[in-house]
Amino acid sequence: MTSKEIMNRFQKKYKNVARMLIACPDQPGIVAAISRFLYEKGANILQSDQFSQDPEGGMFFMRIEFYLQDLDNKLDQLRDAFSLVGEKFLMNWRITSASKPKKMVIFVSKEDHCLNEILWQWKAGDLNTDISMVISNHEDLRATVEQMGIPYHYIPVTKDTKEQAEAEQRRLMEGNVDFIVLARYMQILSPYFVEHYPNRVINIHHSFLPAFVGGKPYDRAYERGVKIIGATAHYVTDELDAGPIIEQDVTRVSHRDTVDELKREGRHIERIVLARGVKWHLEDRILVHKNKTVVFV
């Protein structure tokens, strides 16, 4: 399936469908106010999920999919009108078109398993995204990417050139990125880089966080004799491997497994966990509150 065919498929599937994500202090009347607003605008609610931390003083979270005829021409007006509801209930909210693909940039180094999983799911028409480019600090995966018709940019990174490399990365992405996926990109992003993309950089860490933060987690897991290994997809923050967790999974291992066998098993988990996190981000299923997430799946 070509990029154009993928985009056409989702445009047809989600024509006139929008998504609303809401986080606000919990109080009576929120659901009624939202439902009434959508009804008065002629919208039909297709799906609604909500979660309340604590009805007395906690936070309220909600995700709604709705259908509205001629959505593209009404979306801006809809947002303007809903701002009054948002102000009343102190909401952090957004309304997006479900058919519009988000622009994704993938960062990689040498390992290809996470990249290949994302490319395969995209090629199969399972991810509603426009892959703007792949950026790497190595040349190893150029052929893999370019044969899919995706631009590949090689930007080497050293301790002395990190600032210049990140400036070049940001220059390339200007106007071409909604979010970034670190598909086993083996570089730590600077706080200055991260602050430009809050809750828009998804990383896969090859460990079941918060265990074994940082480098060589499989080696350290082997040394500790763990009985399960896992992977964690999370949003990137200034603190290494400590951002809001999106998805995790594990598999059992034993004392018979070598470090290489742990890595081989781990690669299967990493690619699936990252792909899930990317898909949920694309489908507007994730709400971030402080350093936690609410994921409506």
- Strands (E) in the chain, as ranges, are 17-25, 44-52, 59-67, 92-97, 102-108, 129-136, 152-154, 179-182, 201-205, 228-235, 245-252, 286-289, 292-295
Please give the mean pLDDT across all residues of the chain. Answer: 96
pLDDT average, residue stretch 6-16? 92
3-state DSSP assignment of residue 78: helix
DSSP state letters, 223-258: HHT-SEEEEEEEE--SSTT-SPEEEEEEEE--TT--
Q: Which CATH class is domain 13-97?
A: alpha beta
Q: What are 270's two structure tokens?
A: 């990493």
- Taking phi over 0 as left and psi of -120 to 50 as alpha, with beta for the rest, 245 belongs to beta
Residue 227, Cβ neighbours under 10 Å: how many?
Answer: 11
Which pLDDT score, from 0 to 100, does residue 53 have? 84
- Residue 20 one-letter amino acid: M
**pLDDT tens track for 65-112:** 999 999 999 999 999 999 999 999 999 999 999 999 999 999 999 999
CB 293 within 8 A of CB 286: yes
pLDDT at 143 exceeding the cut of 80: yes
CB 99 within 8 A of CB 168: no
- Residue 4 one-letter amino acid: K
Evaluated on CA atoms 23, 193, 146, 110, the torsion sign reads negative
Does domain 102-295 sit in CATH 3.40.640.10? no
pLDDT at 55 exceeding the cut of 80: no
pLDDT average, residue stretch 18-35? 97
pLDDT average, residue stretch 5-26? 94
pTM: 0.96
The residues assigned a catalytic role are: 241
Q: Can you tell me the distance from the alpha carbon of 206 to that of 265, in angstroms, rounded to the nearest whole number? A: 11
Rg (CA), the chain: 21
Q: What are 13's two structure tokens?
A: 């599937």
User: What residue ranges do the domains of the chain occupy?
Assistant: 13-97, 102-295
